[in-house]
Amino acid sequence: MTRKYFGTDGVRGRANTHPMTAELALKLGAAAGRYFRTDGRNGHRVVIGKDTRRSCYMLENALTAGLNSTGMNVLRLGPVPTPGVGYLTRSLRADLGIMISASHNPASDNGIKFFGPDGFKLDDLAELEIEALLDGAVDLVEPQHIGRTTQIDDGVGRYVEYAKTTFPGRGQLGGLKVVIDCANGAAYKAAPQALWELGAEVVPVGVTPNGLNINEKCGSTHPETAAEAVVAHGADIGICLDGDADRVIIIDEQGQIADGDQFMALLAARWAEAGQLRHGTLVASVMSNLGLERFLTGRGLRLERAPVGDRYVVERMREGGFNLGGEQSGHIVMTDYATTGDGLIAALQFLAAMADTGLPVSALARQFETVPQMLKNVRYRAGQEPLMDAAVQAAIRAAEARLNGSGRLLIRKSGTEPLIRVMAECEDEVLMRELVEGIVGAVERAV
């Protein structure tokens, strides 16, 4: 069954435009409340976190009203990282967790993500059932059963204290100068606080949110800002989070940027050596570089690929009993510590590697030689299906024939934005560029 509202990571869109309106958020809250409140009792709880977008206030109020109307008691966390919502959903024994965020998207967008009582994101079936309720008439509770709303003032502090427990040996960050770029987003308080309390000298970047500047020339989508700060301050490392802090990009002491693939390679090798990597397997998305796969194979380890989206990486991890996964974009999922990608906790694992080895970031963040990879995006309008165009399909077939097994080609629709993503990997960079440009040209003509 096709999902009408939910994408690869919840419901997402431009704020104040369908589906990201207060009206739909009200209905979505009521539908989710009815789905989780099945026994008529008033003891059901839902925690709501958000990032720093101005539209979060509007959506939070609408969601809260919808949830209360079906008897759910709402615990508001305020601005807190997405992984913090996953953690606090379990810690506070809630039936449901909700994060209001569009992650790395600009401030004009927003989104709504759902977590089950186990702290993991809802699966496709649960989202479909909520959609079915959303499109129908939701029964409202009697006045005496309307839910209550409470503000949780120590949500950030609870998450910070938990994150610190995942770092082996408190105080070992003494002597390290760390640039932390919080993208003017959800971790603008939590991340600098945790690093400072663990002993680091902290240089904060992107910690002055105003509701409109989240991800603006900062964070994991614009790591050059933190790279400049690393060089200017003579820092040992740069850590770039995105707007909801579920992904991380690392910058070395020279200002060079390392992506999530290099990070996962480091963790997989270290965990395998320590006997910590379950089943000798790392789970990554189809976007991860071929060089990562070769790196793992050379060490007798396996790479399993999942569809793009950290929720699908997590689903495969849970199915196979694996404990390490992630995406090239910087989602690092460690189910020993968190139920979703956690940029702060992942960064603490990297810092632990620095403390254990005494090596600089430049030595740790270059685990393998990447196979040349090129990615281009083409924006399309609502209602268009450019990948169904005959000329586009012909261009893809021609590119695959020219590649002839010497690399990889991946063309897909983004699950979070109206984009067609065209990616190719090939040792022959000239051929790679020709293939990507040819397919991009065909898609552009189709739209």
Question: Residue 331 and residue 241: Cα distance in Å, rounded?
Answer: 10
Select which of 55, 69, 101, 103 is catalytic: 103
Q: Which two tokens stand for residue 243?
A: 């707007």
3-state secondary structure the chain: CCCCCEEECEEEEECCECCECHHHHHHHHHHHHHHHCCCCCCCCEEEEEECCCCHHHHHHHHHHHHHHHCCCEEEEEEECCHHHHHHHHHHCCCCEEEEECCCCCCCCEEEEEEECCCCCECCHHHHHHHHHHHCCCCCCCCHHHCCCEEECCCHHHHHHHHHHHCCCCCCCCCCCEEEEECCCCCCCCHHHHHHHHCCCEEEEECCCCCCCCCCCCCCCCCCHHHHHHHHHHCCCEEEEECCCCCCEEEECCCCCEECHHHHHHHHHHHHHHCCCCHHHEEEEECCCCHHHHHHHHCCCCEEEEECCCHHHHHHHHHHHCCCEEECCCCCEEECCCCCCCCHHHHHHHHHHHHHHHCCCHHHHCCCCCCCCEEEEEEECCCCCCHHHCHHHHHHHHHHHHHHCCCEEEEEEECCCCCEEEEEEEECCHHHHHHHHHHHHHHHHHHC
- Please indicate whether residue 103 is annotated as part of the active site: yes
Query: Would you please indicate which residues are annotated as catalytic (active-site) residues?
Result: 103
